[in-house]
Amino acid sequence: MKIAVIQGPNLNMLGIREQNVYGPMKLEDIHTQMKNVAQQNGFEIEFFQSNLEGEIVDRIQECMGDADGIIINPAAYTHTSIAIRDALSAVKLPTLEVHISNIHAREEFRHKSMIAPVCAGQIVGLGAFSYHLAMMGMMQILNEIKAMREQQAAASAAQSMGQAQ
């Protein structure tokens, strides 16, 4: 199963921008750690970062039929983007929203997330470790979906065997 990781504006500047808020880790180091976790657990993973809202919307749409779940840090678009929220609603994939900082403890304009209502969960405030927890959460969600599909397939196979007799 495949996890798509989508990163919003200015996250390409991690390690340089406001280290007191976002810590010292670069985005590529965070992605290396996520990739290792995915590989160790048998998941595919793909990374995308853009500073442009429309490109993020395009990437979310491309996830339909390509990815099984989305981990997204929409960065500043979290607080403004109905377009990103609508794209997530449209593709209907299990989604986790991630923030490095605790958006609820910062300026008031960061308290509101347009994205949270269309996500399975939100992980905030644990620095780069927020992404690791999102990986754990997403793998749990996808493993549960896989187990449910296998159960359904076994049940319908048993049913058609019964009908054939």
Binding residues for ligand DQA (CB under 6 A): 10, 73, 75-76, 78, 99-101, 103, 110
Q: Least distance in Å: CB of 35 to ligand DQA?
A: 19
Our CB check for ligand DQA shows the closer of 75 and 142 to be 75
Our CB check for ligand DQA shows the closer of 50 and 101 to be 101
**39 CB-contact burial (10 Å; exposed 0-12 / middle 13-18 / buried 19+):** exposed
Tell me, rounded to whole angstroms, the distance of Cα 76 from its chain centroid.
Answer: 16
Handedness of CA 55, 121, 95, 143 (dihedral sign): positive
Q: Least distance in Å: CB of 94 to ligand DQA?
A: 20
Positions annotated as catalytic residues are 22, 99
Q: What is each CA distance from 90 to 83, 86, 124, in whole angstroms?
A: 10, 6, 24
Q: Which 3 state secondary structure label does DSSP give 81? A: coil
Our CB check for ligand DQA shows the closer of 31 and 110 to be 110
Q: Least distance in Å: CB of 11 to ligand DQA?
A: 6
**What is the three-state SS of 85-130?**
HHHHHHHCCCEEEEECCCHHHCCHHHCCCCCHHHCCEEEECCCCHH
Q: Least distance in Å: CB of 54 to ligand DQA?
A: 18
Our CB check for ligand DQA shows the closer of 68 and 81 to be 81
